[in-house]
Amino acid sequence: VQEGPVAEARRLRDGGRFDDAVRVLDAHLREHPDDAEAERLRAQTLYWLKDLAEADAAYAAALRRHPEHEGLRLDYARMLAETGRLHEAAALLDRHRDGLGPAEASALLGTIHYWRGELAGAKRLFETALRLDPAHPEAARQLREIRAVSAPWVRIEPGLWHDDQPLDTAGVTVEAGWFFTPLTSMAVRSRPVRYSTGSAQTFWLNEVELSSAAPLARIETRLGAGAFRGTGGSYEWTGQATVGIRAGGGVT
């Protein structure tokens, strides 16, 4: 049985013959301009050819002609996301999510949130995708990653210092923390330090710190308060506030 043009183009495309696949689809679409699946395959093949301008135009035109086609919307949103146009991809999925396969749309929208650092929104979307499709691999993998980076923690850091002033210090920092959301955490920290210059004195700082991040605004904040115990058992209150701006490229 002779294969149809769309099947032939898919075989050529899957075999790496992208240009040949596009030529077959162009000829087919001249005779059958309303074949949505052929348009989808052509746009996807242009993307695989790295002809991003032509792929973008092909997807947009096909979606205008076939606004109900689930595969077109999902493939176009995936291309937009993978080429860094996250806002456009999210808008496309938000607008048409009810018409898409719900698990796939939620998983892709969750990935976009994840890449933008919006971990709380990504977590909800991955959980939704897995309720609809418990076997969805990307949603499950990325949800595990979010849970790993937002897991409670305990940290113990001993410290010893000697110099010729003379001044020796010895201490340990014990810290425990947990996340209210994937972007908001609280830490409790205790830090006794013993200073020795012949005679020894011990100072003790206990702190509570709240940290939060706003990925879209590129702002990180930390607020802390504590009690410092000095010599003779006297206490003083301490406080701190930090604001960080993420400038991009790993610079904060």
Q: Which residue has the higher pLDDT, 2 or 16?
A: 16
Q: What is the pLDDT of residue 1?
A: 42
Using CA of residue 196, residue 197, residue 200, residue 206, what is the dihedral sign?
A: negative
pLDDT tens-digit series, residues 71-127: 888 999 999 999 989 999 998 888 655 556 678 889 999 999 998 888 989 999 999
Indicate whether 2 pLDDT > 80. Answer: no
Report the percentage of the chain scoring pLDDT > 90. Answer: 61
pLDDT tens-digit series, residues 159-181: 998 887 778 889 999 999 999 88
Average pLDDT of the residues in 230-248 = 88
Q: What is the pLDDT of residue 215?
A: 83
User: CA angle, corner 54, sides to 50 and 59, nearest 5?
Assistant: 105
Q: How many Å apart are CA 31 and CA 48, to the nearest integer?
A: 24
pLDDT band, very low/low/confident/very high, at 67 (cuts 50, 70, 90) = confident
